[in-house]
Amino acid sequence: MTRRLRGAVALLAVAVLLGCTATSEAGPGGPPAAPSAVPAPRPPDVDLTILPARQVAPTPGMRLAEGLSPPTNRWFSALALGDAPQPVFPLPLAVALTATGFGVGVPQVTTTATGVFGPYAPQLTVDVGGRDPEVSAYDAASVTMDLGTGALTVVEGSPVLHWTAANPGAARFDTPFEPGGPAGSAVAAVGGRTWLLLATDPDGAPAAPALAADGRSADVPAGGGLAWLALPDGVAAGSAAARTLADAAAHPPAPTTLRWAVSAGTATTELDLGAPTAVVRLPHQATLAPADDLDCDGLGAYATVLGAATACAGRTAAWSVPAVAVDATLDVAALPEAERAELADAVTADTERLAGDAAPAYPADTYFGGKALARDAHLLTLATALGLDEPAARLRERLGAELRLRAEPDGCARRAERCFVLDPVLATVVGLPAGFGSEEGNDHHFHDGYLLEAAALAAADDAAHGDGTLAAALAPVADLLAADVAAAGPVPAGDGPAIPALRTFDAFAGHSWASGYAPFADGNNQESSSEAVAAWHGLALWASVRDDAALGDEARWLLASEAASARAYWLEPDGGPTSFASLVWGGKRERATWFSPAPSAALGIQVLPVTPSSGYLAGPEGTPPDGGARVRANLAEALGVAPADLWADPSAWDIPFGDQLLAYAALAGPDDAAHAAALLRELPDERIDDGSTRAWLLAWAMTRAAGG
């Protein structure tokens, strides 16, 4: 195996209508890659029938039209899954179903000592005589609910709700509207917010709403529609901005199409909204791509929990983020001889502890087991790079045996753990024993990312130092794990629902969602942004082993997108009471974790696992653009010290996640990295995370101190 396993410059782009494809070409420093539609890819070449079919836990409720794949891990999952529908947050709006219709509002954003909050609070409630709601369609950025009397369509990022009547009838409102708004609309003011009511006839042409005399209802013909547009903060109905947005919002929604592209320096996302409409641009979408046709000049903005969202009108939103390098290991060969010798001793000691005669068994579940496998795979790359033949051989044997065991397709037919099943109801691959709610779809990208990285590193090593059979042995199951979280298009699953495209990743938000059902009033959430980034790093390495260019391009797009949003909303949020956040929800961004109140844990969970791609934590180029000031500020807040005093008291780092914080500190600059290396040498063993080793963290700090 080469010391560095870099992916080739990605010139082919893959895209989805939850699935369509795209191609682009741009060299380093060139313009952002511009997606353009080409024939849709065929689904991944995987066979789901090789796994035993078993529902690990019953699904509590499902409001989903026949034939649709259960939409776990989406911003709207709670509309379709769980005991009762919960509010959803297609920013800038928040929407919830009622017994006979729906409510909608623009959340009022408030700040406390621990976070930024924008809960669902309806400003309008609409009664359409609905009953038995179910999700009838969804795509890249929209979801449609069949309410029995018609269809409600919600588009992520749009300040507009659209209702299409199945039969002639009336929609009733709790707030009266008055005629006289722009584009023939009616107007209502609620709590300082101006709302416009627009209408379309059965042919989709704009029409004036057929308001009742009291303004509290409007008649709608069969096939006709109503749309509710929330104007931006402080924008009045008579303004030019309101006219522009109203003209755009009148168009009935069409299916949204996602395309992506990667080049040597950028990753580009493009969302075609199907027709000109009103939409917002979130903070991470600031760098525009050539395909973007939005008009955002002078249209105002909405306050959201993620920051100001700029109001725009148009059909195609596109933006670019910096690419993230994909390396398999750290460049320890470039270190001074004395440091290489020190690392060799550390690798030997860690290998004895983890792969010696008294080594503990790997955890059986996919999360802790996956972390341990990736940990040992990192250690193997160091042993190989340092020429440590005996430790490398021991790690190679232990890793290979465990990975082969877990990759037995029929393993769960013969044992209760270290194996995988296909849940035929949720259309997802579940590892046994399940953990952290993985039987409900929770955290699959975290778990599978660790396993894919371990499989990729071990298989690449086996190709160079073994018999070359490991990749083929692991591929049938590892390919299924990749498809489970990141299939470019739906994957048929026999008689059951297909694995959906991009199960966990939200292209508009630029990040993943961790909860399968999202049974929360604050929407879906993700805590460990760094484990999500690591998942796509592992996917990219596996794509290289499989020589799958399309999967590699997709993985690099996911990696760059997730990294950019991790910086924008978790590590470097704009505004709010804290320097960093640890949980981002649809309806709030807060300093809290599921497992610990310690500020060090809140930052540490945004760092682990340290991979060769973790430079993104400091900045888009892998180095801090501000001289490390933001890294030091985050650390100071986590440790409860002043930024200038980070290194004054070594005992301050003897805290939960202290090892991860030292790894993060090494990103602030070479001097900080040297301080981190010195403390990592002395950190108590119990402070080293079970997904890492002292040798790996020391190698990370040493290479950063050397400018690597």
pLDDT tens track for 204-235 = 999 999 999 999 999 999 999 999 999 999 99
E strands of 119-262, at which residues? 124-127, 134-138, 142-146, 150-155, 160-165, 169-173, 178-179, 186-190, 193-200, 206-207, 210-211, 217-220, 225-230, 257-262
Given 204, 229, 249, the domain boundary residue is 249
Express each pLDDT in 401-425 by its tens digit: 999 999 999 999 999 999 999 999 9
Express each pLDDT in 117-152 by its tens digit: 999 999 999 999 999 999 999 999 999 999 999 999
The residues pairing with 491 across neighbouring beta strands, listed in sequence order, are 499
Give the per-residue SS3 of 225-241: EEEEEECCCCCCCCCHH
Q: How many domains does the chain have?
A: 2
* DSSP assignments along 443-483, one per residue: THHHHHHHHHHHHHHHHHHHHHHS-S-HHHHHHHHHHHHHH
Angle subtended by helix axes 694-705 and 366-385, to nearest 10: 50
183 within some domain: yes
Segment 91-102 mean pLDDT: 98
Sign of CA dihedral 586, 587, 592, 596: negative
Residue 627: count of CB within 10 angstroms of its CB = 11
103 within some domain: yes
Residue 649: count of CB within 10 angstroms of its CB = 11
Altogether, the residues listed in the chain come to a count of 708
Question: What's the pLDDT score for residue 708?
Answer: 61
187 within some domain: yes
Given 233, 249, 265, the domain boundary residue is 249
707 within some domain: yes
Question: Which residues neighbour 248 within 8 Å (Cβ) at sequence distance 6 or greater?
Answer: 276, 277, 278, 313, 314
Express each pLDDT in 325-352 by its tens digit: 999 999 999 999 999 999 999 999 999 9
Rounded to whole angstroms, the Cα distance separating 506 from 610 reads 24
Q: DSSP state, 252?
A: P
Which residue is listed with tokens 């498809």? 483
- Count Cα neighbours of 56 within 13 Å in the Cβ-side half-sphere: 24
Cβ proximity of 321 and 560 under 8 Å = yes
Segment 648-666 mean pLDDT: 96
152 within some domain: yes
Given 225, 249, 273, the domain boundary residue is 249
| Window from 19-23, 104-108, 291-295 with minimum mean pLDDT | 19-23
Range of the domain at 689: 593-708
Question: What's the pLDDT score for residue 557?
Answer: 98
173 within some domain: yes
Rounded to whole angstroms, the Cα distance separating 246 from 181 reads 9
239 within some domain: yes
474 within some domain: no
Asked if residue 17 has pLDDT above 60, the reply is: no
